[in-house]
Structure 1
C-alpha cells in the first residue's frame, strides 16, 4: 500500500513539473491566472486523494493487525485443547491397560456347573459305611479332554477376544497374558471367521 502511495506522489510531482515547463510564456494575464487556479485546484484534489489513500492504508493495516492478533489467540486456544486431548488419550490408554491387566490376573469363576456338587449337603455326623473288599475292573474308554482344561483354555481365548475387541495390540496382549504372538494371531484369525 505504501508503494502505491509513493508511486502516486511521484506521478503528481512529475505532472506539476510537466505543467510548469509546458506553460507558454507569452499568454495573456487572464489565461495564466485561470491556469494557475486550475493547477492549484488540481494539486489540492491530489493531496486529498493521497490523504484518503493513506487513511485507507492505515485502516487496512489496523484491521490486518487485529485479525492477526485474533488468529494468534485462536491458535493458542487450539494448542491448549490439543494438549488436553493428548493428555486425556494417554490417561485413557493407561487406564485401559491397567484394567486389562487386572482382568487377566483376576481369578475367573468356574463356568462349568457340576450337578452332583450342587446337590451335595454336608451331614452333621459322619456316616459310617461298612468296608468291603475292593473289586477292580479295567475298562478302556476313549480319552476325552478334561472339562476343567477346556474351560480354562476357552476362558483364555475369550479374554484374548475381549482384549482384541477393546483395541489392544497383539504385542500388548502377549505381554499381559504370557501367550505367544502366533497363538494370539491364530485366535484373532479364528475370531474373524
Structure 2
C-alpha cells in the first residue's frame, strides 16, 4: 500500500526555520531519524521509504507554498496514489504552538497552500496534519509572523514537537486516520 505525505513550506535558506515551513521541518526530522534522504525531482524534493509494510512517498514542493497543489497532483498521478492515502502537513496559526490537529478533510482555513491543493485536486477530501504555530502577532502582521523564525523558547521545544508530528504522520499510514486522530489530537 502506498502513501503520499506532503510537507508544505517554502524553499530557500531564508525560510528554513520559519513557522510557515513546519511541514518541511516534520519531513526533514523523519528523514534524519529514519536515515532516508530527499533528492531534487520534478516540482519537489522527494524521498521513498518502506515502513511497516507500507511504501511511503514524501514530497516537499519546490513550487512555493501558494502553488503546492501542482506538486501534490503531479505525484499523486505519478505514483498512482489515491486521495484517501494522501496526508498534507502544514502550519496552522489558529492552533497554539505545540498542538497538533489531524483531520480527514476540511477547508483551507485561510491557508493559501491548502487552497491551491483544493483547487487542483477538486476536493477538500484529503487528510491534513495541522501543526500549531500560534498567532502572537498584531493586526496586519500575519505575513511577518508566519515567515518569521521561531523564538528561542519555542526552538528549544521544537524537536519534540516535530517528533510528535512525524509520529502522527506515520500513524496515519499504519493505523488509519481514526486511530491516529485518537492518539495525536489534543
Larger helix proportion of the pair: 1
Larger strand proportion of the pair: 2
**TM-score under structure 2 length normalisation:** 0.19
Greater relative CO, 1 or 2 (CA 8 Å, sep 6+):
2
**TM-score under structure 1 length normalisation:** 0.19
